[in-house]
A and B are shown apart, each in its own frame.
Chain A
Amino acid sequence: MSGSFRLAEGGRIDRDRPVAFRFEGRDYQGCAGDTLASALLANGVHQVGTGIRHGRPRGIASAGAEEPSALVQIVKPFPEPMLTATTVELRDGLEAHGLPGQGRLAADPDPARYDAMHAHCDVLVVGAGPAGLSAALAAARAGARVVVADADTEFGGGLLGSGELLDHAPAADWVRRVTAELARGPDVRLLPRTTVFGHYDGNYLVALEDRGPDALTRQRTWHIRAREAVLATGAHERPLVFADNDRPGTMPAGAARTYLHRYGVVAGRRAVVFTTDDGAYPAALDLWGAGAEIAAVVDARPEAPPFWARRCAEARIPVLPGHAVVGTSGEEHVTAAHIAAFDPDSGTIGAADPQACDLLLVSGGWNPAVHLYSQAGGPVAFDGAAGAFLPAGSVPGVHPAGAASGLRTTAQCLSSGAVAGVQAASRLGLEAAAAPRPETDAHPVPKGRPLWRVPDPDTEAPGARQFVDLARDATVADIGRAVGAGLTSVEHIKRFTTVGTGHDQGKTSGTLSTGIIAELLGTDPSEVGTTTFRAPYTPVAFAALAGRERGDLYDPVRVTAMHDWHVGHGAPFENVGQWKRPWYYPRRGEDMEAAVLRECRAVRTGVGMQDVSTLGKIDVQGPDAAAFLDLVYTNMMSTLKVGRIRYGLMCTADGMVFDDGTVMRTGENRYLLTTTSGNAAHVLEHLEDWLQTEWTHLRVHLTSVTEQWATIALAGPRSREVLARVAAGIDLDNAEFPFMSWRNGAVAGRRARVCRISFSGELAFEVNVPWWHGRHVWEALYEAGGPFGITPYGTETMHVLRAEKGFPIVGQDTDGTVTPQDLGMGWAVSRKKADFIGRRSFSRPDTARTDRKQLVGLIPAAGEGVLPEGTQLVETRVLPEPPVPMLGHVTSSYRSAVLGTPFALALVRGGRDRIGQTVYGHVGDRLVPVEITDPVFYDKEGARRDG
C-alpha cells in the first residue's frame, strides 16, 4: 500500500508530534491524538487480524468501543491481551499485533498498580457528547454536584467526528467552552478516558478510568453513587448484512466520517456507499469533499432522500436508489462491491455488477446504546421507524438523553440533554434552566428503513458468508440453523450460535440478529426482543477490579499483641478466620510432628503457654443478664456465682450446636462470655438478634471487648509455680482459687484477671491483661517459666490436647447438623430451665432419633498411621457395590504422645452403641481397620486439672 491516507490538515491529531509504533513487526508513524486504528488507516493498513472460526481476514469495522473485529494484542509498553485497535491510544513505542479472534494472557505477572475510588454526586452524566455536555451544563449551573464520565480521551463525543458547526464555528469550540466552564465548577468532576461499564441498584455506577502512562496507577475503578444519572451514551451505527460483508475496507459510514474529521484520515481512495439510512449521505459528501472518489451511493430504499440526492447531484456522485450491495470481491482488502437492483418489498435482486472500490461504507441505521439503561431496570421497546430498540417507560432518577434515546440530529441531542439536566436537577430540588441551545446545521432529520439482510445470490450455501457477528464469525446461515432446529427464543439462539457472546457483547450484531430471527420466524422484532444487556459494557481486567486488594492486602490479617514474638520464635501460622495464630514452634531440625509431640509432652508433664487472645469476648450487662444467658445457653447461667466460671454451649433454634465458650460472672448483673475465635462476630449478631427482635423486654447490653484483652493460657502441672513467681499478690492455692473461678490481681506488675480454665485437662490458668500489656506479660511469664522449661505451644498442640480429652471444637467436630446430645454433651443441656434457644427442637422426630451420628473416639489398628481428617467410615472390610452405606467420617485426627498411638474423633451413625466395634476407614485405595472408643482418651476422671 503506497502513500499516506492522512490529509495535510484537519482533524484533532497533532502532526507536529509524530508517534512511532510497531504493528505486526513493521514500523509505522502516527500522530499524537491517534488511536491505533486511525494510525493504521493513515498508513493504509486495513487488515488487523483474522476471524475466530474461519480465519478470514478482518479489518477495522468501527471507530469506537463497539468494534467487533479489530482485535490486537499489545506487546509494549506492557502486555495486554485482546484490546480493540479503535480504543487503544497511540503512544510512542507501542508495539502490537493482530489476533485471530482471541488473545493470550501474558505469562509474566502484571506489575502495574490499579486502585479504586468512591465518589458521590447529585448528577452523573455518562457520555460527553452534545447531549451529555448540555445535561452537565444545566445541572452544574443549577448548583448540583456533577460528575461527567466519557470513554474518549477528550470530551465532545460525536461532535469531534462530524465536522459540524455550532453557532457558526467548529463544534469543537463549543465543546471546549462548555468543558472549561464545567471544569471551573467547584463541585464538578470531569473524567475523560473513563468508561461507565455497569449500572447497578440505587444508581450505583461503576466505571473504569484509564489513567495514562504517567500516572501511578494504570487504571482506576470508580464506584459512583449518583442521585440522578443522565445516560447520554450515544448510539452505534448498524452494519448491513450481505455476502462477504467482512472484508477489510468495509466499515460503517459514520466511522469513516469520524476518521476523516477526528483524525484527518481518508480511509480509501474510491468508495462505494451502501445505505438504508439518510445518515450515510453526509459521510459520503464529506469524504468526497476531502478528495475521495465516491463510486456510488447505493440506497436499498426505492427512493433516495430528495435533500441529499440533490447534494449528491451537485457533487456528481451517482445515487442508485432501489439497489443493494449483494457481495464483494477482494482477499485482504475489498476490491469491488457487487451492486444489484433490489426491491426491498419483494426481496428480489437483479444481476450483480461489480464496482471497483477500496472502501465500502455501510449504514443500516443506528442502535442507541441502551446498555446502562437496561441494566438500571429500564425497559426497551422496538421502534419500527428507527429499526432499533429504544428506551421505553421510565426509571426514577435515570434519564436517557440524546442519541441513546433514539434521537438523530445534533439539535435534538443538545435539547434533550439540556432537558435531562434540568429534570435531574429539579428532582433534587434545585432551580434549573436550560442554557440557550447553540445554532446547528439545518439538515432534515435523517430517516431510515430497517434492512436486516440482503438476499444472498449464492443459492448453494445461502447465508454462509453473510456475517452477522464478526466477533464470533456467526452468519445468517448459523441463525437459520438455530431456527431450523426449532429454537425461537433470542436467548437460546444466542447460545446456539454464539451471536453476541464475543468481547463486544454484540453491540453491532444484537439488533441485527433479532431482526434476522424475526424474519426467519415470520414475526416482528418486538416479539423477539433482545438478549440481556449485562455489565460490563466493555471488557474489564480482573486486576482493575481487584485494585489494591491483592498480595498482603488481599484480606485483612488480624494479629494479637504477641504476634511479633511468635514470628521471632519461628512459628508458622494457622489462619483462623482472619486471625493468624501460631501453629507450632519448631526447634532447629524439628518437623511439625516432632515439634507438636514435644509441645504436648511439655504441657502434660511440665508447663506450656499459648496465646489465646483471639477468642471472642463479649461483655454482658443489665438486670436481666442472667435471664438472658439462661435463654441463649443450653445450660444454666443464672446460678453461677460471682467470681465463678462455667462452660457454656449455644445452639441455634433448630437445636444444632452453634458455639461454645466460657461464661464468667464478673458482677451481680454482669458477665463476660468467650466465643470461638472464628465465630465471635456471628455470636454477637445472633445474641443481638434475639435481644433486639424477640426479647425486647430484657434489659441487657452487649459490648464486644475482644481486643481489649490479651489472653495467655498457662497449662501443665508446673503452671501454678510459674504464675506464682510473677503474681505474688494472688493466692493460687486450690482451695482459695478453685477450678472454674477467676481472681483480679497483678501479673508481672500489670492489672490482670486470672482464670482457672483448662482446655487440656491439665492444671491451667488464663491470664487476661489489657492488649497493650500482652507482649510484656507474655515475656514475663516466659522468663518466669524458664527454670521449668516452659514451652510455647501453638494451635496444633492445643487441638491434640483437647482431643485427647474428647473436647469437641465447634466448626471442626461439628458442622451445623450436630446436637449437644450427638456430641455426648447432654450434661450441658439443662432439664430445669423452662426454655432456651434450641430446646424445643431436641424433641423433633429427626433430632430425637437414636441412630444419629454421634461423636466417638477412634484408634486405628496397630501399625496404621494418622487417619486423614475427612476419612469416610464404612462397616465392612471389603467395599460393597455402590451405593456404599456410609457410617460417618473422621472430624479430628492426630498422633498422641501420651497415648503412644494415632487417634481420632469421628461422627458415626449410632456411634455410642458401637464402642468396641471395628469399622473401616477408606484411605486412598485401602480400608484401614479402626476401633471405636469413648471420645475421652486421657484422664477420664479429670484428676489432673488441680495439679
Chain B
Amino acid sequence: MMLIPCPWCGPRNEVEFHYGGQADVACPRDPDAVSDAEWARFLFFRANPMGAFTERWMHRAGCRRWFTVRRDTVTHEIRPVGAEQERAVTV
C-alpha cells in the first residue's frame, strides 16, 4: 500500500487516489496544426520506464485535486514535484 503525499491533505493510502498516468503530456495547443500521427501520439502513447517516472494522481477520496509526483517504478519511492511541493502539508 503506497503512501502517496497529497500536497493538500498529506500522506494517504494509495486506495484514496485515482491514477492519472504519465504527467506532462500536454494537449496540443492547436489540435488542427498537428498531424494525425502526432495527435495519435498524444492520445495513445505513454512512457513505461523502469525507474523514475513523473506521473499524475488525483486525491479522489480527499480534496479531488490533481497533482504530480515522481515515483520510482521499481522501489515505489515517491517524491513530490512541481509547485505543490512548496505548499505541501502534513496531517
Return chain B residues, CB-CB under 8 Å to A377: 75
Return chain B residues, CB-CB under 8 Å to A200: 1
How far is A819 from B60 in the complex, measured between Cα atoms in Å? 28
Q: B31 contacts A685, CB within 8 Å?
A: no
Q: B64 contacts A201, CB within 8 Å?
A: no
Which A residue's beta carbon lies closest to that of B30?
A835
How far is A204 from B2 in the complex, measured between Cα atoms in Å? 8
Docked complex: A668-693 residues within 8 A CB-CB of B = 681, 684-685, 688-689, 692-693
Residue B50, interface by CB 8 Å: no
A378, chain B: closest CB distance, angstroms: 11
How far is A653 from B27 in the complex, measured between Cα atoms in Å? 9
Residue A574, interface by CB 8 Å: no
Residue A844, interface by CB 8 Å: yes
Which A residue's beta carbon lies closest to that of B58?
A685
B16, chain A: closest CB distance, angstroms: 13
Given contacts A377-B75, A694-B27, contact A689 B58 (CB under 8 A): yes
Residue A654, interface by CB 8 Å: yes
Docked complex: B24-64 residues within 8 A CB-CB of A = 26-27, 31-32, 34, 36, 39-40, 42-44, 56, 58, 60, 64
Q: A688 contacts B31, CB within 8 Å?
A: no
Q: A844 contacts B76, CB within 8 Å?
A: no
Out of B3, B18, B32, name the residue touching A201 (CB < 8 Å): B3
Which B residue's beta carbon lies closest to that of A655?
B43
Residue A225, interface by CB 8 Å: yes
Counting chain B residues whose Cβ lies within 8 A of the other chain, the interface size class is 20 to 34
How far is A688 from B60 in the complex, measured between Cα atoms in Å? 11
Return chain A residues, CB-CB under 8 Å to B36: 843-845
Given contacts A377-B75, A688-B66, A693-B56, contact A840 B31 (CB under 8 A): yes
How far is A202 from B18 in the complex, measured between Cα atoms in Å? 18
How far is A61 from B42 in the complex, measured between Cα atoms in Å? 60
B11, chain A: closest CB distance, angstroms: 8
Query: Which secondary structure dominates chain B's binding surface?
Result: mixed
Counting chain A residues whose Cβ lies within 8 A of the other chain, the interface size class is 20 to 34
Given contacts A685-B18, A693-B66, contact A844 B40 (CB under 8 A): yes
Which A residue's beta carbon lies closest to that of B78?
A202
How far is A685 from B76 in the complex, measured between Cα atoms in Å? 24
Residue B10, interface by CB 8 Å: no
Which A residue's beta carbon lies closest to that of B65?
A692
* Of listed A223, A684, A692, A840, residue having the most chain B CB within 10 A: A840
Return chain B residues, CB-CB under 8 Å to A654: 43-44
Out of A201, A692, A835, A843, name the residue touching B2 (CB < 8 Å): A201
How far is A201 from B3 in the complex, measured between Cα atoms in Å? 7
Return chain B residues, CB-CB under 8 Å to A201: 1-3, 14, 76
Return chain A residues, CB-CB under 8 Å to B32: 840
Return chain B residues, CB-CB under 8 Å to A844: 36, 39-40
Residue A220, interface by CB 8 Å: no
Residue A247, interface by CB 8 Å: no
How far is A200 from B26 in the complex, measured between Cα atoms in Å? 33
Residue A839, interface by CB 8 Å: yes
Given contacts A200-B1, A204-B13, 5 further A-B contacts (CB under 8 A): A202-B2, A202-B76, A685-B64, A688-B58, A689-B66
> Chain A interface (Cβ within 8 Å of chain B)?
200-202, 204, 223, 225, 377, 653-654, 681, 684-685, 688-689, 692-694, 835, 839-841, 843-845
> Chain B interface (Cβ within 8 Å of chain A)?
1-3, 13-14, 18, 20, 26-27, 31-32, 34, 36, 39-40, 42-44, 56, 58, 60, 64-66, 75-76
Q: Can you offer 17 A-B residue contacts whose CB atoms are under 8 A?
A: A201-B14, A201-B76, A202-B1, A202-B76, A204-B3, A204-B13, A377-B75, A653-B27, A654-B43, A684-B64, A685-B64, A694-B27, A835-B31, A840-B31, A841-B43, A843-B36, A844-B36
